[in-house]
Structures are given as structure tokens and as C-alpha cells.
């Protein structure tokens, strides 16, 4: 791992936690660096020490040994309120205060640290918009909101005092899969706006892969089995444990992380619309093509059948068919693959702001996924 000094938001060195009476440590000699401005996901089987590690970062649990630094300072030497102002915390099962209104829930930390009424009210307004809640919900109580809405309140509350760091423990475990997917998308969109350092604990590997710039996969005892960008874990699992935890469809999971820009495109067979059809037919026959793409300079007009070209004067005079699968460099390869297998020509055309860049075939996709897997 090569993170330079100033870029580390949270650093754990030789951290250990032994609970009284336990035979095995919950966390064993853990070294970890969480880069600033990234989302890092902690994933692993139940009881592997994810929550314990998170709680040691904001000192809800004190480590038995080792040191933890947050933004360059040892947390042991910081006053807890000071530390908590740096760290927003979304606890397992959301944990809103049931007898406080939504507005009062969100305002918890700003009030605690002594903001005046007006500043608190303004901040609550801002947060409601940021996490996508309706203002009319502010005077309701948590039980009067859906699970997904409560979760958004939990995030708003954690962000209230604008901490640089956000710790989230199984934030989406209480909501159904559809809402979960939406909340995950919202978190990614939110992160593009707020650019925090975020640690998300989950036991769902797909969630860890989707959300994490980096994934830390734990084994029981708080031991890191492997960490890195999700694509690296999927491409080269470090042990049978990791491989098993990553589960089935590793190839497809990688496809959803890679984009068209990661693949080497095929130039594809194309002719200019003005090309004499005899010439186009010759090219097609020489290369065993049944169809060919027709372009007008940088623009792709569509594709034509060999037989149709043979019957006209210029390639562009033949009946044009539209390419069904259009992708851009930022399209995930998984989506591009879907387009390819459902199109007649078995290729996706890659267009960037109207400009034709090339074609993508299943072979190109396999090639880019196969790279690095040995």
C-alpha cells in the first residue's frame, strides 16, 4: 500500500482488543490505513471484529494494545467530544431517538457542541435536502417514517456537524434489497458532493464491492485476509478464504466495476457512406463479412447487409439499420455485455459525444476481464 502521510485519515498500528473473559482476541494486531476522501468497506463473517474495530476508532471501545490516529492525532490523547466532532457515526439498526422529532434527531450533535438555534435550523434544512428527505417530515417521529427514510435521517444526523469522517455500521441491513440498492446509490452520489472519509461495515460482499474504493476483508479475530481496490481482490484473491468469501460470478462482479474505457476496442469494419458499393462489397467479401458499418466522417450512421449494398450505387444508399447497443467509455462492461448479447450484430458501438470510437465484442470484454487473473 502506498499512501503518503498527509493522505491517511485513520491509521491503526498493532491494534488489539481482548474482551474480559474471552479466550481469543476480538481484534489481533491490526495495522490499517484509511485514505482521506475515500470510501473503505469492512467486510467479513459475523463476529470477525468489524464493529469492534469501528468502535475503537471513535473510542466507544478502548483498545487493549496498539495506537489509533485520526487525522494525524492519537485518539487516546483527544477528548472524546472533540473526537466525536471529527467523526459522524451511523450505528447498526439506525438507532434514532424514538421520542425526538426528526429535526431534533438531526440536530443532536450541533446542539451538543453549542451551536445557536438559527445555525442549527439552517443546517437541518441543508441536510434534509442533502440526503433527499421531505421538509414536512421534520416534525414527525422516527416511527412515522419508512425504514429507508429513517436510514437517511441517520446519515443526516451523522453529517450534522460536518465531520470529515463518517463511520457507518451495517447501515442498510434493516431495509429491503430494493431500498438498499437505492440508498447505496444515494451514498455514492452524496460522497461525490461531500467528499468525506467513510468507513462502511457490512457483511454483504456485493455491497462492499459496490461502495468501496477499497475493501478490507476480515477473518475471525480481526485479522485482515486481504485489502485493496475491489477489482484487485476479484482479480486475484489472496487465499481460498478470500475466494470463497467473494463467492460466485467473480468475472461478472469484475465486469460491473470495469468500464468500456478499460477495454481495448476493435476498430470495426466501416465504410464511408460515399464509398462506391462495388468497393464496399469487395472489402466485405475479402473479409467474410455479412454486414458493414457505414459512417459519415466521425459519425456512425448504422449498418448495412452485403446483399443490400450490392444492389445500390454507394454504400450509404443501402437500407441502414441502427446499432442496438450504444455505449460510452463510462458504461460498465457488464451493461455493455448485456447490450451485445441482445443485439443482432453482436457488437456494441462505442460513441463519445457523437464521435464514433470503435466497437466492442464479447472477445474484447473477455480479454479485459482476463487481464491480471493469470
Q: Using CB under 6 A as the criterion, which residues of the chain lie in contact with ligand ATP when the complex forms?
A: 19, 22, 26, 46-52, 203
Strand positions, DSSP E, 174-248: 197-202, 214-219, 223-228
Strand order in the sheet with 299-305: 270-272, 291-296, 299-305
Comparison of 24 and 74: residue with beta carbon closer to ligand ATP: 24
Partner touching 97 among Mg ion, ligand ATP, none, CB below 5 to 8 Å by kind: none
Beta carbon of residue 49, minimum distance to ligand ATP (angstroms, whole number):
4
Partner touching 47 among ligand ATP, Mg ion, none, CB below 5 to 8 Å by kind: ligand ATP
Residue 52 gets which letter from DSSP?
Answer: H
First to last CA, the chain: 21
CA–CA separation, 133 vs 127, rounded Å?
A: 9
Beta carbon of residue 221, minimum distance to ligand ATP (angstroms, whole number):
8
Binding flag, residue 51, Mg ion (CB under 5 A): yes
CA–CA separation, 40 vs 33, rounded Å?
A: 10
Beta carbon of residue 29, minimum distance to ligand ATP (angstroms, whole number):
15
Comparison of 166 and 294: residue with beta carbon closer to ligand ATP: 166
Beta carbon of residue 222, minimum distance to ligand ATP (angstroms, whole number):
7
Q: Show the cell assigned to 252.
A: 461478472
Q: Show the cell assigned to 138.
A: 421534520
Strand positions, DSSP E, the chain: 8-17, 27-35, 39-43, 65-70, 73-74, 87-90, 165-169, 197-202, 214-219, 223-228, 270-272, 291-296, 299-305, 326-327, 348-352, 355-360
Partner touching 48 among Mg ion, ligand ATP, none, CB below 5 to 8 Å by kind: ligand ATP
Beta carbon of residue 337, minimum distance to Mg ion (angstroms, whole number):
35
CA–CA separation, 7 vs 190, rounded Å?
A: 21
- Which of 327, 336, 328, 330 minimizes the C-alpha distance to 365? 336
CA–CA separation, 228 vs 317, rounded Å?
A: 53
Binding flag, residue 259, Mg ion (CB under 5 A): no
Beta carbon of residue 53, minimum distance to ligand ATP (angstroms, whole number):
7
Binding flag, residue 202, Mg ion (CB under 5 A): no
Comparison of 152 and 203: residue with beta carbon closer to Mg ion: 203
Comparison of 93 and 239: residue with beta carbon closer to Mg ion: 93
Partner touching 358 among ligand ATP, Mg ion, none, CB below 5 to 8 Å by kind: none
Q: Which stretch binds Mg ion (CB under 5 A): 48-56, 171-179, 189-197, 282-290?
A: 48-56
Comparison of 51 and 275: residue with beta carbon closer to Mg ion: 51
Binding site for Mg ion (CB under 5 A): 51
Amino acid at each position: 500500500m502506498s499512501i503518503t502521510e498527509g493522505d491517511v485519515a485513520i491509521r491503526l498500528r498493532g491494534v488489539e482488543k481482548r474482551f474480559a473473559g474471552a479466550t481469543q482476541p476480538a481484534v489481533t494486531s491490526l495495522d490499517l490505513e484509511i485514505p482521506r476522501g475515500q470510501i473503505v468497506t469492512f467486510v467479513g463473517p459475523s463476529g470477525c471484529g468489524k464493529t469492534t474495530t469501528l468502535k475503537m476508532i471513535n473510542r466507544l471501545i478502548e483498545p487493549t494494545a496498539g495506537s489509533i490516529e485520526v487525522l494525524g492525532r492519537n485518539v487516546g490523547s483527544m477528548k472524546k467530544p472533540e473526537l466525536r466532532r471529527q467523526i459522524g457515526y451511523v450505528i447498526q439498526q439506525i438507532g434514532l431517538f424514538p421520542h425526538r422529532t426528526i429535526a431534533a434527531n438531526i440536530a443532536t450533535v450541533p446542539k451538543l457542541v453549542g451551536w445557536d438555534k438559527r445555525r442549527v435550523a439552517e443546517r437541518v434544512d441543508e441536510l434534509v435536502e442533502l440526503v433527499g428527505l421531505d421538509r414536512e417530515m421534520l416534525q414527525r417521529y422516527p416511527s412515522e417514517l419508512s425504514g429507508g427514510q429513517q436510514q437517511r435521517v441517520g446519515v443526516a444526523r451523522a453529517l450534522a456537524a460536518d465531520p470529515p469522517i463518517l463511520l457507518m455500521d451495517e447501515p442498510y441491513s434493516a431495509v429491503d434489497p430494493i431500498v438498499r440498492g437505492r440508498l447505496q446509490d444515494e451514498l455514492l452520489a452524496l460522497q461525490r458532493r461531500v467528499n468525506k472519509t467513510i468507513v462502511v461495515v457490512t457483511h454483504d460482499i456485493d455491497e462492499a464491492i459496490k461502495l468501496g474504493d477499497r475493501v478490507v476483508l476480515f477473518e475471525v479475530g480481526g485479522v485482515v485476509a486481504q485489502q485493496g481496490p475491489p477489482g484487485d481482490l476479484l482479480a486475484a484473491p489472496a487465499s481460498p478464504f478470500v475466494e470463497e468469501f467473494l463467492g460466485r460470478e467473480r468475472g461478472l462482479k469484475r465486469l460491473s466495476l470495469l468500464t468500456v474505457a478499460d477495454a481495448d476496442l476493435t476498430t470495426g469494419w466501416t465504410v464511408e457512406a460515399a464509398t462506391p458499393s462495388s468497393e464496399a462489397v469487395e472489402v466485405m467479401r475479402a473479409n467474410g463479412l455479412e454486414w458493414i458499418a457505414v459512417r459519415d466522417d466521425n459519425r456512425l450512421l448504422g449498418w448495412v447487409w452485403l446483399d443490400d449494398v450490392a444492389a445500390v450505387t454507394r454504400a450509404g444508399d443501402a437500407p441502414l439499420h441502427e446499432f442496438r447497443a450504444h455505449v460510452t467509455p463510462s458504461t460498465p462492461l457488464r451493461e455493455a455485455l448485456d447490450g451485445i448479447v441482445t443485439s443482432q450484430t453482436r457488437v456494441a458501438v462505442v460513441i463519445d459525444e457523437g464521435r464514433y470510437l470503435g466497437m466492442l465484442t464479447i472477445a474484447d470484454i473477455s480479454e479485459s476481464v482476463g487481464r491480471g487473473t493469470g
